[in-house]
Structure 1
Amino acid sequence: MTTHRLSTPRIRIPWSLERPSPLPLLAVWTLSRAGMLALLWDDTLGVGKIGREVYLLYQHWYGQLSQGAFPLADVTWQYPPGAGLVILAPGLLEPLTYYQGFVALTLCTDAAVSVALARAGGSGAWVWVGGLPLLLHMPLVRYDVQTTAFAVFALLAVQAGRPRLGGVLAGLGAMVKVWPALTLLGTAPGRPTRRAWASALLAAVALMTVLALAFSDPLEFLRHQGGRGVQIESLGGSALSVAHLAGWPGAVQYRYGSFEFTGPHVPVVARLSLLLTVAAFCWLLLWRVRARRWTTATGPDAALAAVLLFTVTSRVISPQYMIWLLGLAAVCLTCRITSQRPVTLLLLPAAALSALAYPVLYEHVLAVTPLGCAVMVARNALLIAATAVSCRRLWRATAPGLPAVEDH
């Protein structure tokens, strides 16, 4: 009878990957980001004015945070307290306006992620550099690029054999938007996991302590999570959109910072989404317990599968969530033996459809027209397929008694 020693897993190291040629990558980054900036300058595509998230909402939060208090009784503030530092950062770039500073910091973060992925080798840098513009100019006016940077740097640090640094980055990222904590799910059992998770916890507690001393009401965001309904772009929203076309009498309303469905049976759909999220969490725990084969690709592969699971089961799937998935997929492709290569091929068209839905055809999505419904159903079908493929290939790559997935 064969025994498996989880405390000393055998880590298979992939053969070295060539770094992408810097000049073509730099040329594509420069041209694509110039195009994104041009779209943002005009900001009339589709529904237009997507930059107002920054110059109205973020700048409003900046005014409150600069007075030493987190937004109070503001249902749109639904983020951990670490997000406040990201919101405050553009104010340091005077004489730039807040809007200009935010876009400049986002571009700098984007460039840093691109460089880190290029140095790691493989095709990950190309996925990030070429995939982000599929979302048009939206990534420049959301703080999800900064959040994704924490996750990318954390995964790359763990891959490089620095679990403590990876844990610190993941812990800080979790204080900005929770989900970067999932980057540690696939850390090899034993000492690497203990070091990574202990470092993440210490970093999160340290940052929380500093913020609690410097600001009032740092936990105010917790009050506004439970009341959220079913966003029109979520899987549940797609089901309700189809039902609306078939005669269901629900309506679309702006609530909690997004457009949600209201009407009969919506609470049932919301509860079903929560149950699916719990089921996803249980599956991830089962995978972790059953996993026996560990490679340097397991960490990013598991992170992508986990974030996909929590994305598709969420009551909210905002278009900026695709930034997270593209960043994680890019890290996966820095490893030649990743199991997630087909998943990336599904995420790229899903990103393009997300941009088609918002901002290009968002009026159709809000009006629940057949065209708007078709685009959202197609995007969400790709996400479901990506999640199923990701989980299946992760399981086969790590579970005992099954042939490992091979990618070339």
Structure 2
Amino acid sequence: MTAVGIDRTASRPRLGRVTNRVLLWAAFVFVHLFVGSMGFLLPNQPTGDVWLVYEPWSRAVFSGGGIVGVTHDWVYPHLALVPMLLAHVPGALVGDYTVGWAILVVIVDAVAFAVLVGRGRSRGRVTAAVFWLAAILCLGPVGMYRIDGISVPLAILGCLWLLRRPWLASVLLAAATWIKIWPAALLAAALVAVRRRSVVVAAAALVSALIFGVVVALGGADHALGFVSGQTGRGLQVEAPVSAVYLWGALFGVEGSSVYYDQGILTFQVMGAHTDVVAALMTPLLVLAVGAVVALGAVQARRGVSFLRLFPTLGLTLTTVLIVVNKVGSPQFQAWLFAVVVLGLVVDRRRWVGPGILVLVSAALTQLVYPVLYNGIVSPTLVPVAVLTLRNVALIVLLVWMAVRLVRLPAPAPALVRSTP
């Protein structure tokens, strides 16, 4: 009887862990099926980038039509072409490239989700997994049917492994950066917060050298940094926070203020008084803002603030800066916020529930903006413009919140020195 009783008692936590994992994976399947389906049902073609640009770019490689980033400048870093090529494999099996892309994103998400959930024993990991699924649901199909859908799970893995596997974490973050530039913010935060900085630098440098070497070997030396120049020459995208003045001006009929479609980069931008000057100033302003946040993080690191307190806060501050102080404001940018919040919830649920909720609100407002209300943005009407403005306010609040938290991070108390006789 005693042995049976002990077995039952010991099995309860194990059964609870199994139940957690089963429920989380069931939710994972449901969320991805639902969001993936909504990509084909919601208005304004949320899957458009996949079949309008990703598929033609990747097919050109097979047909001899040139390699983006090698034979000519490209808007993305070079490694972004790899998932676009890989999507043809599941796409061929199901007979549709867009569905194949969704399958590829689900596979990469599943790998990161499995590492995050683990054995289902940690409440922080379970909370973080629930947050990530809720975030995917709130942001909607734009988070799945964009190249960012590949970089985000890689960034989550990188964040989770930074302490115990800094070499592998840096490789993943560097690879994610060469897919979409934003994870560079997490690499910068890692260089400040991680003690084994040389490992992080070496791994990131190796990945970058390999990619750059392949591009040069293929004859693409002249286009190796085309994605940088392509971004600096852009105008003010309609969803960016800095564009709000011109968007409201277009709504109220202010002379010269309007929304137009740029055929070169395939996105909607705003026009108005001095937009060229504002667009030119945004890039150096972004660099200064990033530099200021990194410097503040370095000060906190010198004060001895621990990695688990410093890295998530610094990482989210830098990532939010990349969104708020940016002349580009695509809706999928909201997915950038997910990775650091996931880590924050893993290591300290209590402090990161608030930022997590604000990120979910921002993501949900973004899905309302695009694809649901987007017609009212490109041809401005009151409710859609107000929703977009509210979303941008939420992002600014998050940036201020994280900056204040970064300033207030406590340094460890000095050790008590015992005097001996």
TM surpasses 0.5: yes
Aligned to 1:283: 292
Aligned to 1:178: 181
Q: Distance in 2 between matches of 1:387 and 1:190?
A: 22
Q: Percent identity?
A: 26
- Please report how far the alpha carbon of residue 164 of structure 1 lies from its aligned counterpart in structure 2 after TM superposition: 1.4
1:6-405 paired onto structure 2 within 5 Å: 21-41=20-40, 43=41, 45-47=42-44, 49-66=45-62, 67=64, 69-70=67-68, 77-93=74-90, 94-96=92-94, 97-119=96-118, 121=122, 122=124, 123-159=127-163, 161-187=164-190, 191-214=195-218, 216=220, 217-248=223-254, 249-255=256-262, 256-291=265-300, 292=303, 293-336=305-348, 339-398=351-410
Q: Distance in 2 between matches of 1:338 and 1:394?
A: 16
The aligned amino acid for 1:391 is A
1:329-374 Cα distance to aligned partner (Å, 9 max, x none): 1122111277543221211111000000000000001111111210
Is the CA contact 2:258–2:272 (under 8 Å) kept in the aligned structure 1? yes
Q: Distance in 2 between matches of 1:106 and 1:78?
A: 21
Q: TM-score, normalised by structure 2?
A: 0.83
1:382–1:89 Cα change, 3 Å: same
Deviates more, 1:316-325 or 1:161-170: 161-170
The aligned amino acid for 2:93 is P
- Please report how far the alpha carbon of residue 397 of structure 1 lies from its aligned counterpart in structure 2 after TM superposition: 1.6
Q: Distance in 1 between matches of 2:322 and 2:225?
A: 22
Deviates more, 1:129-138 or 1:266-275: 266-275
Q: Distance in 2 between matches of 1:306 and 1:338?
A: 21
The aligned amino acid for 1:278 is V
The aligned amino acid for 1:384 is I
- Please report how far the alpha carbon of residue 210 of structure 1 lies from its aligned counterpart in structure 2 after TM superposition: 2.2
Alignment gaps of 5+ in structure 2: 1-15, 414-421
Q: Whose helix fraction is larger, Structure 1's or Structure 2's?
A: 2
Q: Distance in 2 between matches of 1:51 and 1:74?
A: 25
1:142-183 Cα distance to aligned partner (Å, 9 max, x none): 121211122111111113x22111111121111111221222
Q: TM-score, normalised by structure 1?
A: 0.85
Q: How many residues of Structure 1 are paired with residues of Structure 2 in the alignment?
A: 379
Aligned to 1:3: none
- Please report how far the alpha carbon of residue 88 of structure 1 lies from its aligned counterpart in structure 2 after TM superposition: 1.2
Q: Distance in 1 between matches of 2:28 and 2:170?
A: 29
Alignment gaps of 5+ in structure 1: 1-17, 402-408
Is the CA contact 1:184–1:299 (under 8 Å) kept in the aligned structure 2? no
The aligned amino acid for 1:21 is N
Q: Distance in 2 between matches of 1:390 and 1:38?
A: 35
Greater Rg by CA: 2
- Please report how far the alpha carbon of residue 389 of structure 1 lies from its aligned counterpart in structure 2 after TM superposition: 0.5
Is the CA contact 1:54–1:142 (under 8 Å) kept in the aligned structure 2? yes
Counterpart of 2:347 in 1: which secondary structure? coil
Aligned to 1:4: none
Instruction: For CA contacts below 8 A with separation 6 or more, give which structure has more relative contact order.
Output: 1
- Please report how far the alpha carbon of residue 251 of structure 1 lies from its aligned counterpart in structure 2 after TM superposition: 1.7
1:117–1:301 Cα change, 3 Å: farther
1:22–1:251 Cα change, 3 Å: same
